[in-house]
Structure 1
Amino acid sequence: MYAHFAREIGSTFFPPGVRFSQTTAALAAFGLTCCARPVGAWILGGYADRKGRLRSLRVSIVIMTTATFVLATVPGYARIGLLAPAVIMLARFCQGLSMGGEFGSATAFLIESRPAHATRAASWQAIGQILASLGALAVTFGLRQVLPAGASDETGFRIAFGIGTLLGILALLARMGAEPTPPRGPAARGMPAPPADARFCLRVVTVGSMVALGAGITYFGLAMLAYAQSELHVPADIPLYASVISVVGQLAFTPLRWRLANRFDRTGRIVPSLAGCGLVAVLSLCAACAVGRHPGLVLVLPLGLNLLGLSYFAPLDGQMGLVFPAAQRGRGLAIGYACGVVLFGTLLPFLIGWLSGGVPVVRSWVRNCSRGWLFWC
């Protein structure tokens, strides 16, 4: 929802007249504060290995809900000045801490709850993210249809974050009543998890590389919501319609996702995954070359790339979780996923905003420096 309301958040909390637009500043807060993910992965992932997956999940949802409540209630720049963007950055930092530990703990919990069908169980992680995206789109679209234009700019995102706060409380109650998975490895004997070594670091790098493709596509789609409005000047409803089609399209292929995950559970073959990864990588390069001539592609690329790479994405969460032994799965999976998402995903919206607004500045600077060098010669 933060990405959907990036324009409104930028105009409310960030000062006007900065070098980049207020929307770009809001996207920078969206991307840069997610650098807290590796920190949260280290802290909450280690906590999951020591104290259990559910305890870590409860802590992460408390942090997320509190930060979301702050986003819903903090006054704007017109009332408290530079304190407003500072509080927004702090809240986003806390959300990054929460997100850093959430994926590793949740995926490890799913895998260990169904060890005989680990990949299919872990695929619920991706399905949950798709459902969350659909919920965010439904809230955004509903608020923009119900509220007048001026009220939507000023209070729409606050209502959305208020709804997110209530859902966070419900999620905490659900996690308080869930049954923990049986402990395994050193945790079952009351021993600390083995320390990080060269093999652990190699596994972290492997997981970070595995998540790169999915993170890039996911955050590319989020960035396009703001980019299509600010640079392509399309009406605000069109990117929302495109996002709804993308999310619903991915949900429609959930049975195929389960079938592909079951195949990996039975065979352990990674050839279909590698083929899907290569197909998406090649087509992404082709799309990048064509988007300048056909701007409308930015609205259909996320769905197309996700469906073409389904053989890669379907078993991905389970494959990443099985890279680590149970004793290191919480921290290792969280750190690898967080680093991959930060490097290849969350910095992408800021990069797009910088390129759209900053490239002319860079070209002018290079041109002036070249002229000065020629004059000196």
Structure 2
Amino acid sequence: MSAQLQTLAVEPHNTAARQPWKEICAASIGNALEFYDLLIYGYFAIIIGKLFFPADSETTSLLLSVGTFGISFVMRPLGAIMLGSYADRAGRKPSLTLSITIMMIGTGMIAFAPTYAQIGIASPIIIIVARMLQGFSTGGEFGAATAYMVEHADGKRRGFFASWQLSTQGLATVLAAGISALLSYTLTDAQLSDWGWRLAFAFGLLVGPVGLYIRNQIDETPEFKKVKAIKAERSPLRTVLLHETTNLLLGIGVVSGATAFNYVHKLYMPTYALKQLHIPATSSFLGAMITGVVLMITAPIFGAMSDRFGRFRVLSIALMLIGLTSYPLFLILNTWPTVTTLIAVQFLVGLLIAACLGPIPAMLSDIFPTTSRGTGLALSYNFSVTIFGGFAPLLVTWMISATDNKMAPSFYVMATSAISVIAVLALAQRMKRRPQS
């Protein structure tokens, strides 16, 4: 029985006879929705700070707002543990359906939350609870969705199909930045602060039922069905923590540089462009849209490259480029703080994000067996995102304020990219020594 399980873990189900686009769409749409909600909160952090976290200082208000953004990431590991384990015990489909339902509840709470001026202290509490629900949901989404994608894919094209999850993050960025830019352009500042920002959250709330319907129509993965028929994993969390500890820690390290770069250069950039470069809000969102378009188009290309040339080779080169370019990118932005410069920089940012995040889902899937893959994926990704990404906007906002140095965010990105390069090299050596069945 153990030999059968090991074989299934290293020999993925072969679906070469057909292309699993229906399954990829089902897994991706929820991921796109969750990332859209994440970005929208970050893009409207300044307005949310004023409405729900009023303070004497505008900087303090912004810090409270982005701090609440980070609070949702504290819930990610819990979501990873509970929903990831649920995906390994009950199946990928039930976990995916549950995660998108929880996300819709959190989004609805934010969209209709009364402001501090209306109900006082209860207002920020509602926002905090909503963000915690969203964080819990997102914590389980990555593991179940990625496992679902790779277990429907041909073993030789796992990188390509898993990378579509990142491509839909690019689509979410385009939608979030596009809607934010449209609202900023068509509404006055007073209208945007009064009710306009709620429209952005309402859009995400409308997409949710579509994703829920699609996920209810999909089948469980053949690979999971086969493993469950042999032996169901009773405690996937215990298995990962006791028997896959090294892989888990290295997986966290691998994701750290990519996620720090992603959250600093993409999610935080509209706020940085507005507050530090004094670029109009509409133009700052345009830069984020460019990043999203590039990520959406090129993530599958880098995923396919990882299938052909190897995940470790593609990822290590991309991470080294991130470490080398982060400071020059911020230097260029501060030397020539124009919309044209912002668009050019964000184009390159999108390319680098795709080069890093494109191969990562399949890489993490490769290092965990089917019986605990959902848990292993969820924990490694979400612990890293929580530690290095979730509080990145808060950290870099504080760094700029404390040092009065607009280049401070680049130092954070360089440090985390160095950690990732070391982790990738160590994991590559470990995988070479792993016995094959």
TM-score, normalised by the number of residues in structure 2: 0.76
State the match for 1:304 in structure 2. Answer: 348
The answer as to whether partners of 1:15 and 1:82 remain within 8 angstroms in 2 is no
- Unaligned runs of at least 5 residues, structure 2: 1-39, 405-437
Give me the whole-angstrom Cα distance separating, in 2, the residues matched to 1:225 and 1:19.
17
Cα distance, 1:232–1:291 mapped onto 2, change above 3 Å: closer
**How many residues end up aligned between the 2 structures?**
357
Q: 2:251 pairs with 199, 202, 207, which one? A: 207
Give me the whole-angstrom Cα distance separating, in 2, the residues matched to 1:86 and 1:254.
37
The answer as to whether partners of 2:162 and 2:303 remain within 8 angstroms in 1 is no
Cα distance, 1:218–1:300 mapped onto 2, change above 3 Å: farther
User: How far apart are 1:232 and its partner, in Å?
Assistant: 2.5
State the match for 1:124 in structure 2. Answer: 164
Tell me the percent identity.
Answer: 31
User: How far apart are 1:149 and its partner, in Å?
Assistant: 2.9
State the match for 2:181 in structure 1. Answer: 141
User: How far apart are 1:33 and its partner, in Å?
Assistant: 2.5
State the match for 2:295 in structure 1. Answer: 250
Counterpart check, 1:219 vs 2:263: yes
State the match for 2:434 in structure 1. Answer: none
What CA deviation, in whole Å up to 9, does each residue of 1:57-115 have, x standing for no partner?
Answer: 11110110000000011100001111111111111111100010000100000000114
Give me the whole-angstrom Cα distance separating, in 2, the residues matched to 1:308 and 1:89.
32
Give me the whole-angstrom Cα distance separating, in 1, the residues matched to 2:220 and 2:57.
49
- Unaligned runs of at least 5 residues, structure 1: 361-377
State the match for 1:326 in structure 2. Answer: 370
Query: Which stretch has the larger CA shift, 237-246 or 104-113?
Result: 237-246
SS in 2 for 1:211: helix
Query: Which stretch has the larger CA shift, 13-22 or 94-103?
Result: 13-22
Q: Map of 1:162-201 to 2, 5 A cutoff?
A: 162-182=202-222, 183-184=224-225, 187-189=228-230, 191=232, 192-194=234-236, 195-196=238-239, 197-201=241-245
Give me the whole-angstrom Cα distance separating, in 2, the residues matched to 1:357 and 1:72.
30
Q: Map of 1:34-45 to 2, 5 A cutoff?
A: 34-45=73-84
SS in 2 for 1:2: helix
Query: Which stretch has the larger CA shift, 103-112 or 198-207?
Result: 198-207
Q: 1:273 pairs with 315, 336, 355, which one? A: 315
Counterpart check, 1:28 vs 2:28: no
State the match for 2:396 in structure 1. Answer: 352
TM-score, normalised by the number of residues in structure 1: 0.87
Cα distance, 1:239–1:204 mapped onto 2, change above 3 Å: same
What CA deviation, in whole Å up to 9, does each residue of 1:331-357 have, x standing for no partner?
Answer: 111010001111211111001222233
State the match for 1:368 in structure 2. Answer: none
The answer as to whether partners of 2:69 and 2:131 remain within 8 angstroms in 1 is yes
Cα distance, 1:57–1:308 mapped onto 2, change above 3 Å: closer
The answer as to whether partners of 1:56 and 1:101 remain within 8 angstroms in 2 is yes
State the match for 1:340 in structure 2. Answer: 384
User: How far apart are 1:198 and its partner, in Å?
Assistant: 3.9
Cα distance, 1:14–1:269 mapped onto 2, change above 3 Å: closer
State the match for 1:373 in structure 2. Answer: none
SS in 2 for 1:179: coil
SS in 2 for 1:178: coil
The answer as to whether partners of 2:53 and 2:64 remain within 8 angstroms in 1 is yes
Q: 2:201 pairs with 152, 161, 180, which one? A: 161
The answer as to whether partners of 1:105 and 1:330 remain within 8 angstroms in 2 is yes
